């Protein structure tokens, strides 16, 4: 079903904003930008904050009735009163950005009543622009994407943390081919068929998931927590309990393998 005019306009705004933010990030890449550690020990840079500020400056005035959740903005419970919110990750892959590598991206999604309806993941250093609108498919630089799928996990290219991959090894899953890809790019690669799946055990933040989840869903795949339950966004705790993303058949096989491991 074609998107409503409102959603179409929101998606266009989101895509243009993510592209502009990514270009800002590209202009700062390779520089020795200021960096420091957050209270949780994760790293943040002046580029993260600059990109966050650029996105916020565009989106919030354009849609003042929408809520806001970003990795680089202090959380505010007022977002819970909004049916629609933006979820932003200014730089997913900050370590790669700091080390002057290309495995980082800008990701953003629009959430409507707990579910993503528009999303974009932009990898500026490779000119890869992944987009999706609910009901209209997922695209990479304008070309339609389809998630890979099969009845078996044998030799499947699954990206994940060591604990998750260890639980899948008995099913013949290949080693992690993702390198240093952050979660949003892993999800984008699942949507594009470059990876057969992505798994992660442990809590994962909403901003690491929302845009990529829509990409996978619109490419014909399934994304869930490790119990097989779908995500609901814009809850008091902005995280989900683990990640499984794959084509429908492989998703079911991964769930089954994790339960029996």
HEC profile of the chain: CCCCHHHHHHHHHHHHHHHHHHHHHHHHCCCCCCEEECCCCCEEEHHHHHHHHHHHHHHHHHCCCCEEEECCCCCCHHHHHCCEEEEEEEEECHHHHHCCCCCCEEEEEEEECCEEEEEEEEEHHHCEEEEEECCCCEEECCEECCCCCCCCCCCCCEEECHHHHHHHHHHCCCCCCCCCCCHHHHHHHHHHCCCCEEEEEEEEEHHHCHHHHHHHHHCCEEEECCCCCCCCCCCCCCEEEEEEEEEHHHHHHHHHHHHHC
Residue 109: inside a domain:
yes
Average pLDDT over residues 210-233: 97
Mark whether 190 and 140 lie in a shared domain.
no
pLDDT of residue 19: 98
Q: Model pTM greater than 0.75?
A: yes
- Identify the pLDDT of residue 261: 67
Q: What is the pLDDT of residue 180?
A: 77
Kindly state whether residues 113 and 68 are assigned to the same domain. Answer: yes
Looking up residue 167, the CATH number of its domain turns out to be 3.40.190.80
Same domain, 110 and 176: no
Structural domain span for residue 194: 158-260
Residue 1 pLDDT greater than 90, yes or no = no
CATH number at residue 104: 3.30.540.10
* pLDDT tens-digit map of 21-33: 999 999 999 998 9
Q: What is the pLDDT of residues 149-186, one digit of tens each?
A: 999 999 999 998 888 888 888 888 876 666 679 999 99
Question: Mean pLDDT in the chain?
Answer: 95
Same domain, 220 and 172: yes
For residue 162, what pLDDT is reported?
81
35-77 tens-digit pLDDT? 999 998 899 999 999 999 999 999 999 999 999 999 999 999 9
209 has pLDDT over 80: yes
Q: What is the pLDDT of residue 202?
A: 87
Q: Is the pLDDT of residue 247 over 80?
A: yes
């Amino acid at each position: 079903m074609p998107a409503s005019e409102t959603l179409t306009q929101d998606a266009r705004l989101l895509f243009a904003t993510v592209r502009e933010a990514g270009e800002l990030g590209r202009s700062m890449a390779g520089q020795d930008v200021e960096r420091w550690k957050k209270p949780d020990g994760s790293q943040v840079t002046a580029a993260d904050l600059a990109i966050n500020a650029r996105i916020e400056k565009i989106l919030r005035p354009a849609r003042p009735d929408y809520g806001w959740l970003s990795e680089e903005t202090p959380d505010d419970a007022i977002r819970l009163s909004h049916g629609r919110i933006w979820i932003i990750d200014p730089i997913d892959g900050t370590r790669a950005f700091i080390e002057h590598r290309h495995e980082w991206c800008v990701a953003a999604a629009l959430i409507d009543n707990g579910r993503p309806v528009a999303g974009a993941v932009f990898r500026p250093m490779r000119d890869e622009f992944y987009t999706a609108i609910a009901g209209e498919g997922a695209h990479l630089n304008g070309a339609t994407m389809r998630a890979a799928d099969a009845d078996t996990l044998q030799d499947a290219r699954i990206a994940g943390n060591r604990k998750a991959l260890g639980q899948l090894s008995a099913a013949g899953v290949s080693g992690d081919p993702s390198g240093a890809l952050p979660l949003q790019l892993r999800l984008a690669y699942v949507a594009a068929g470059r990876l057969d799946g992505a798994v992660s055990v442990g809590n994962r933040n909403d901003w690491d998931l929302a845009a990529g989840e829509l990409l996978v869903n619109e490419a014909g795949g399934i994304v869930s927590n490790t119990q097989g339950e779908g995500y609901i966004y814009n809850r008091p705790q902005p995280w989900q309990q683990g990640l499984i993303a794959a084509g429908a058949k492989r998703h079911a096989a991964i769930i089954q393998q994790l339960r029996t491991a």
